[in-house]
Amino acid sequence: MSMRLIFATMVLIAGGVILADERNEQRREALLAQMRSLAEKTKIEVEGSDRQSELMKSPIFRYDDQPRRFIDATIWAWTDQGRPVAFQKIEAVEFGDPDAPSSTWQYCFASLSSDLLRVEWPDCPRFRSTKPGIEFRPLEGAPEVAEGSSQRKRQTRELARKFSARIITSRVNDIRQQMRLLTTPLMEYVDPKSKEFRGAVFGMATNGTNPDLLIVLEIRESQGTAAWHYAPARMTCGGVNLAYRDREVWQVDWVDGSQGPFPTWTFFSTERAPLALEDKP
């Protein structure tokens, strides 16, 4: 093969890679715009209050989950007086024949509020939590709260690494998996008055980087002193056993997804029209 032919072949290959990258980026941007629109149509209220929770402007996390055929997904957060009160996954899902798949949007909503929430989506069933989404507990053996936000952020990462979890993904076959901590927080937040660091939300994943379990680490008053507290929240039907320093501190059972909605979380699917950019070449 002549050098001229080799060069021409290399140019064609490089051009094809660039076009594929551009197409993929356009697809990601289009999917993000759709997911943003769906998140903005979600309305969340704290029960007993006329306040509507505030949606953060951008998704706090983006991921895919190939084993479950989630081709793209985002997590959106709502806050009330500065702290997170709800997380919602919006996932673009393909299922069925890989050559001619069907498509849906899958929502997974979880309360992170100590109050009850009311949630509305267009043309979908409403949801009302019947229990607080989280219950904070003192983190025994945790160090004293550090001075300064940067030191406190570092503390949350060190504390998060001391948690471990196992998930039961199938009750019939008793399939258990070790969950993996996502070491970068999904979200950090500050006290709205002092602007000092207040807490962070970490995720633990079963497949890739899809968080099935949330762990909130927050500075709260305990006997008149600021101390570290933790609160887990599930976003999965799987049964979860959570440990801190190898001692079990929280457990939830496997649940049948068809029995939802559940007291603190819910999930459901809606139709999704595939983008033209998703057509196979």
* Dihedral pair phi/psi, residue 204, rounded to 5°: -125, 130
Q: Choose between 183 and 69: higher pLDDT.
A: 183
Q: Tell me if residue 128 falls in helix, strand or coil.
A: strand
The answer to whether the Cα torsion of 10, 14, 17, 23 is positive or negative is negative
Structure tokens at 195: 């602007």
User: How many DSSP H helices and E strands does the chain contain?
Assistant: 2, 18
Residues 207-237 have pLDDT tens digits of 889 999 999 999 998 778 999 999 999 999 9
Structure tokens at 184: 């970068």
Domain ranges of the chain: 1-133+264-281, 136-256
Torsion of CA 159, 161, 164, 170, to 10 degrees: 120
Region of poorest pLDDT, from 59-63, 84-88, 102-106? 102-106
SS (H, E, C) 225-267: EEEEEEEEEECCCCEEEEEECCEEEEEECCCCHHHCCCCCEEE
Residue 119 pLDDT class (50, 70, 90 cuts)? very high
How far is Cα 5 from Cα 11, in angstroms, rounded to an integer?
Answer: 10
Residues 135-171 have pLDDT tens digits of 999 999 999 999 999 999 999 999 999 999 999 988 7
